[in-house]
Amino acid sequence: MSDREKIAEHLRFFEELGVEGISRDPDWSVRAVDRLVVQKSPEQSDVAALVGQEGSVPADLGQGFSVKEPESKATYSETIAVDSAGPRAQSDRDVSVFEQVRVPSTVSANEALDLIRKQLGDCTRCKLHTGRTTLVYGTGKPDADLMFVGEAPGRDEDRDGVPFVGRAGQLLTKIIESIGLKREDVYIANVIKCRPPDNRNPEPDEVRTCEPFLFAQIDAIQPRVVVALGSFAFRTLLREDRTPISKARGRVYNYRGAKLIPTFHPAFLLRSPNRKRDVWEDMKKVREILRGE
């Protein structure tokens, strides 16, 4: 790993912890007031009571995913309604939120995803195409109830053309299995379809160019739950510029006709395995929603 890649990894780590940037400007020493305030309500379920039950954490999830008695009851907030590019409706599938992605309402989810992929083509819409090996579209069940959205492809994904196939992808597979599902039961995609150089954060113009295709994928799949993996995916989906994932997680958001649950990115968990418990709490909420509890 080059020095630049190491620096990028450190910056990603600090961002997940809520650090908004680094500057000598004294104004940055004052934290911005959170724009989103909610009243949290206690969740009565006991983590320890889930041991041995269906969907409990598998033993092979590794350090941080073992179930222990917590110091206090886990809490989860009430659902938050947000304006996220408008509500999803069946009649809206003729023309996506962005006009350049068009999908007839009469086609199946699988056909819709194929049409979106054809419209994406051998994309040269932004500068990222010059450095990519393979465009990474998405993978999984076309009409999945559960969809995961990450940030952008990494080295392994750029090579194979499939999202989440490296170490972080292996951990994501275990996370999916922890709630009694298989990888092929869900759909996985990224905000950005091409690997940014040196794994840097995608730039605003790249997001604006690529996000219409992600939104069209979500509209085609019509999942019941969308899990935003990491700060970048969460901020892109909900137009949140400042809220770090450490503050966003633990809440459920209304999003395009689905429930959106933010959680930590698997790559972050590889660096901070002690935060796996937080992801387990988030995935329990996902399981509750999918079961109608």
Q: What pLDDT score was predicted for residue 74? A: 41
What is the crossing angle of helices 231-238 and 204-221, to 10°? 80
Nearest-angstrom CA–CA distance, 288 and 216: 26
Q: What pLDDT score was predicted for residue 102? A: 85
Nearest-angstrom CA–CA distance, 285 and 293: 9
Nearest-angstrom CA–CA distance, 234 and 207: 13
CB 267 within 8 A of CB 12: yes
Q: What pLDDT score was predicted for residue 222? A: 97
Amino acid at 278: D
How confident is the model over 133-160, as pLDDT tens digits?
A: 999 999 999 999 999 999 999 999 999 9
Distance of CA 133 to the CA centre of its chain: 23
CB 252 within 8 A of CB 47: no
Amino acid at 15: E
- Let me know if 282 is exposed, middle or buried by CB neighbors in 10 A (0-12, 13-18, 19+): buried
What secondary structure letter does DSSP report for 136? -
Nearest-angstrom CA–CA distance, 87 and 85: 7
Q: How confident is the model at residue 30 (pLDDT cuts 50, 70, 90)?
A: very low
Q: What are 190's strand-pairing partners?
A: 150
Domain boundaries, the chain: 3-291
Measure Cα distances from 169 to 20, 101, 219, 268 in Å: 26, 28, 24, 12
Nearest-angstrom CA–CA distance, 211 and 209: 6
* Mean of pLDDT values over 18-46: 38
Task: Look at domain 3-291 and name its CATH class.
Answer: alpha beta
How confident is the model over 111-133, as pLDDT tens digits?
A: 999 999 999 999 999 999 999 99
Checking if the pLDDT of 175 tops 50, the result is: yes
C-alpha R_g of the chain: 19
Q: What pLDDT score was predicted for residue 3? A: 67
Checking if the pLDDT of 38 tops 90, the result is: no
How confident is the model over 156-174, as pLDDT tens digits?
A: 999 999 999 999 999 999 9
Measure Cα distances from 209 to 181, 246, 248 in Å: 32, 27, 25
Q: How confident is the model at residue 184 (pLDDT cuts 50, 70, 90)?
A: very high
Q: What phi, psi does 228 have (nearest 5°)? A: -90, 120
* Beta pairing class for 252-255 and 258-263: antiparallel
Q: What pLDDT score was predicted for residue 90? A: 37
How confident is the model over 72-113, as pLDDT tens digits?
A: 334 565 565 544 443 343 333 333 344 468 888 899 999 999
Q: What are 42's strand-pairing partners?
A: 75
Q: What pLDDT score was predicted for residue 101? A: 86
